[in-house]
Amino acid sequence: MTDPKLRPLGTYETGVFDESAAEIPAYDPNTQRVFVVNANEATIDVLDISDPTNPNLIDQIDASSFGAVANSVAVNDDGIVAVAVEANNTQDPGTVVFFDADGNTLNQVTVGALPDMLTFTSDGTKVLVANEGEPNDDYTNDPEGSVSIIDISGGVQNLTQADVSTADFSDFIGREEELRNKGVRIYGPGSNAAQDLEPEFIAVDGNDTTAFVTLQENNAIAVVDIENANIVDVLPLGAKDYSRGLPSLTTFEFSDLPVLGTTEGGQEILLGGLSGLWY
C-alpha cells in the first residue's frame, strides 16, 4: 500500500490578510458549496466548489443585521445553514440564524453571550452552541458561559425560543475551590465558576447523547448531557512542567516479539512495541 499524499486542488483568496476574512468553513455536499465565516466583512461567503480546482465566490450572506459579526457556521445533511452571531455588545445574548443553501433567512433564536462555535448533532435535529461569555476589559460585566441546545426536529420554519434549552454552570457556583484543587483554572476577579468557565468548542459523541466542550481559558473540558441540557462534569486537562526542559527521544530495540497468529497468506502477526515516551 502506498503512502497517502495530499496536494492542493484549488485555492480561493479573499485578498485580505490577518483580519479573519476566511475563518470557519462548512461544506454542503448537496450543492457543492462551502460556507465560510468572513469576520472582516461580517458575512458568510458562499463558494461554489463544483470545480474544486477553481473555487468561486457566488454569494455573501450579510450577518450584520443580526448582530456584530458571525463567529461560526455549520451545515446539516438537509442543507440547513446555522450561523452563530455575536451581539453588538459582546456581553449581551447572541443569535443563531438559520438559512437555506441559497442564503434565504429561515429563522433565528437568541442564545447566550458570545456564541463562539456551533455544530449539529449527527442526525441533524439539534444545534449545540458554545456561548463563551467573555467579560469586558475591566471585569465589570462578566456574563455566564453556557451551551445552548436548539431542537430543530419540528422544522426550522416552526422554530421558537421555546425550542432553545440552556446548559449552564450554575451547579458549580460555590465549588470554585474544589475545581481549583482538581486543576481547573478559575481566576476571574470577583467572578464565580458560572461566569469564569468559558465554552469554546464542541464535539458530540456518536450517539448524540453527550457533548464534550473545551473550556480553553480554564484548561478543562465540560461534559454535557444533551437530552437534559445539563453540564454533568468539568474535567481538568492538567499541566506540563516546561521548566524540566525539552523532551528527549530514546530508541528502544525490541527483539523476539511474540507471534500472535498468522494471516491467511501465512505472514506472522507480531505483538507491537512501545513507540515512545513523553514526560
Of 124-128, 206-210, 230-234, 266-270, which gets the smallest average pLDDT? Answer: 266-270
- pLDDT above 90: residue 4: no
C-alpha cell belonging to residue 250: 530514546
Q: What is the mean pLDDT of residues 6-30?
A: 88
Sign of the CA dihedral running 214, 215, 218, 221: negative
| 233-242: b (≥16 Cβ within 10 Å) or e | ebebeeeeee
C-alpha cell belonging to residue 93: 445574548
pLDDT of residue 66: 95
pLDDT of residue 277: 46
25-236 under CATH 3.20.20.210, yes or no: no
Say if residues 39 and 22 touch (Cβ distance below 8 Å): no
Q: What is the mean pLDDT of residues 11-19?
A: 84
Q: What is the mean pLDDT of residues 187-191?
A: 89
Alpha-carbon dihedral 12, 15, 19, 22, rounded to 10 degrees: -10
| Backbone phi and psi for residue 57, each to the nearest 5 degrees, phi listed first | -70, 120
- pLDDT above 60: residue 273: no
- pLDDT above 90: residue 254: no
Domain boundaries, the chain: 25-236
What pLDDT, in 10s, does the model give residues 108-153? 999 999 999 999 999 999 999 999 999 999 999 999 999 999 999 9
pLDDT of residue 279: 43
- pLDDT above 70: residue 231: yes
The total of other beta-carbon atoms located within 10 Å of residue 9's CB is 11
pLDDT of residue 272: 61
Radius of gyration of the chain (CA): 23
Q: Per-residue confidence at 173, pLDDT binned at 50, 70, 90?
A: very high
- pLDDT above 90: residue 264: no
d(CA 149, CA 230): 10
What pLDDT, in 10s, does the model give residues 35-60? 999 988 889 999 999 999 999 999 99
Give one word for 245, left, alpha or beta, with left for phi > 0 and alpha for psi -120 to 50.
left
Q: What is the mean pLDDT of residues 7-28?
A: 87
Of 95-99, 216-220, 228-232, 268-272, which gets the smallest average pLDDT? Answer: 268-272
What pLDDT, in 10s, does the model give residues 55-83? 999 999 999 999 999 999 999 999 999 99
* Chain-centre distance for alpha carbon 220: 14
pLDDT of residue 46: 97
